[in-house]
Amino acid sequence: TTEVYYDDDADAAHITDKTVAVLGYGSQGHAHAQNLHESGVDVVVGLREDSSSWEQAEDDGLRVATPDDAAAEADVVSVLVPDTVQPAVFEAIEDELEAGNTLQFAHGFNIHYNQIEPPEDVDVTMIAPKTPGHILRRNYVENSGTPALLAVYQDTTGEAKDEALAYAKALGCTRAGVVETSFREETETDLFGEQAVLCGGIAELIKQGYETLVDAGYSEEMAYFECLNEMKLIVDLMYEGGIGAMWHSVSDTAEYGGLTRGPRIVDEHARENMEEVLEEVQNGTFARQWIVENQAGRPQYNQLHEAERNHEIEEVGARLRNLFAWADEEEEETDEKAEV
Ligand code: NDP
Ligand code: MG
Ligand code: MG
């Protein structure tokens, strides 16, 4: 069984007696910096001099310095710039790390795939909140918690885990529960999940379903509703009560049809492809491809990004979502109906 750590398992003193440099003030960075600060930790935000977030961080009551200056005075350096720029930012701060300091991450990619090779005399840990930063921040303010993963890659002080737990406590994560994993497991499952199931898998399933209906002569609107809009209702049911809660809530017809036809859509061929995708994550093929893609200025990424944005379902969706928002106001503003 998995051990889950809560507030009582963490001693805040392991972080409140330290200075934490939070590099980056984006999604994760702004939430870590403010939550740590309000939990009594000495925080300095590290940003490049022309950073658009510099003023915001100061307005939020935080000290700001360049990444190397911030790292120089810190005991713990939390690396919260985008994964693709972390190796370059690390190079700029590497010389400021002293023996016994900690390099702290929210995702394992650069450590696991050796894009960052930390000095041997620093601790390397991870606290990965399982939500976007603005929710981590909101939960903290509202006195609720955000689940997180904890991992220790390198422990030179013997206190890496205690310090990581204290960091998680200061973020508000031990209010909800913190689960221990490894950099390898976090990185590989995260990449596989977003590629095969969450982002890649679901977007492809939706588009293929939509295209199948439209190609067969059904209306774009019906195809959009059936294949995209209703997805949320189905996922909400699964989120709340598992797959069983979903089957329980839909009609017996939907359940019988789904149970007999679903495995024909996502079949053993899809399973083989999933295994192949997982292997590319495990053997570093995907990481290498993404690193090279970035070095080349993202030619393939830009092309795919553009094509996806221009898919017909996006245009149909934008139109229908507008119509819905409009329909909500319809009772008060009946005059505008003619514009539809
Ligand atoms: P963001 O893209 O939100 O980070 C943007 C911040 O990084 C800005 O403050 C930006 O400042 C700064 N930045 C960008 N480029 C540079 C640079 N070259 N030098 C210095 N600063 C730079 O990152 P996220 O918060 O999304 O991700 C941070 C980490 O958290 C990643 O490891 C990610 O995998 C992980 N994570 C993210 C989650 C999320 O929901 N977003 C969830 C869990 C983990 P500037 O104004 O200078 O551009
Ligand atoms: Mg993820
Ligand atoms: Mg239906």
Site to probe by mutation for ligand 1, drawn from 23, 45, 51, 81 as the one with most ligand atoms within 8 Å of Cβ, is 81
Q: What is the pLDDT of residue 2?
A: 84
Say whether pLDDT at 79 is over 70: yes
Tell me the two tokens of residue 200: 């890649």
Catalytic: 107? yes
Q: Which ligand is nearest to the CA of 229?
A: 3
Ligand 3 center–CA 193 separation, angstroms: 26
251 is in an annotated binding site: yes
Q: Which ligand is nearest to the CA of 131?
A: 1
Q: What is the pLDDT of residues 311-333, one digit of tens each?
A: 999 999 999 999 887 555 544 44
Question: Is CATH 3.40.50.720 the right assignment for the domain spanning 4-181?
Answer: yes
Tell me the two tokens of residue 104: 């702290």
Ligand 2 center–CA 189 separation, angstroms: 8
194 is in an annotated binding site: yes
* ipTM of this complex prediction, to 2 decimal places: 0.97
Q: What is the pLDDT of residues 108-139, one digit of tens each?
A: 999 999 999 999 999 999 999 999 999 999 99
Helix and strand counts by DSSP (H, E) for the chain: 17, 9
Alpha helices (H) in 151-298, listed in sequence order: 160-171, 183-192, 200-215, 220-224, 231-249, 252-265, 268-282, 285-295
* CA gap 45, 66 in Å, rounded: 8
Please give the average per-residue pLDDT across 239-251, as a whole number: 98
Q: What is the pLDDT of residue 230?
A: 95
Whose CA is closest to 50, among 64, 35, 62? 64
Ligand 1 center–CA 172 separation, angstroms: 20
Tell me the two tokens of residue 126: 């991870």
Please state whether the predicted TM-score (pTM) of the whole model is above 0.80: yes
Burial of 112 (0-12, 13-18, 19+ CB in 10 A): buried
Better-scored residue on pLDDT, 205 or 337:
205
Strands ordered across the beta sheet of 63-65: 4-5, 178-180, 148-154, 123-129, 102-105, 76-79, 19-23, 42-46, 63-65
**Residue ranges per structural domain of the chain:** 4-181, 191-333
Please measure the distance between the N-terminal and C-terminal CA atoms of the chain and give it in whole angstroms. Answer: 55
Site to probe by mutation for ligand 1, drawn from 22, 23, 27 as the one with most ligand atoms within 8 Å of Cβ, is 27
* CA gap 180, 2 in Å, rounded: 8
Q: What is the pLDDT of residue 324?
A: 80
Q: What is the pLDDT of residue 1?
A: 74
Ligand 1 center–CA 204 separation, angstroms: 27
For ligand 1, what atom is nearest to the CA of residue 89? 19
- Check 14, 30, 107, 112 and give the catalytic one: 107
C-alpha distance from residue 326 to each of 14, 232, 313, 334 (Å): 53, 20, 19, 10
Q: What is the pLDDT of residue 328?
A: 57
* CA gap 267, 262 in Å, rounded: 8
Angle subtended at Cα 171 by Cα 170 and Cα 176, rounded to the nearest 5 degrees: 105
Question: Using CA of residue 255, residue 256, residue 259, residue 262, what is the dihedral sign?
Answer: negative
Specify which residues 78 forms β-bridges with. Answer: 22, 104
133 is in an annotated binding site: yes
Ligand 3 center–CA 254 separation, angstroms: 8
**CB pairs under 8 A, 24+ apart, for 310-317?**
311/207, 312/214, 312/220, 313/206, 313/207, 313/210, 313/223, 313/224, 313/228, 316/220, 316/221, 316/223, 316/224, 317/224, 317/228
Whose CA is closest to 226, among 309, 315, 325, 320? 320
Q: Which residues line ligand 1 (CB under 6 A)?
A: 24-29, 47-48, 51-53, 67, 80-83, 85, 89, 106-107, 128-129, 132-133
Q: What is the pLDDT of residue 181?
A: 98
Q: What is the pLDDT of residues 174-232, one digit of tens each?
A: 999 999 999 999 999 999 999 999 999 999 999 999 999 999 999 999 999 999 999 99
Q: Which ligand is nearest to the CA of 183?
A: 1
Q: What is the pLDDT of residues 252-287, one digit of tens each?
A: 999 999 999 999 999 999 999 999 999 999 999 999
User: How do beta strands 76-79 and 148-154 pair?
Assistant: unpaired
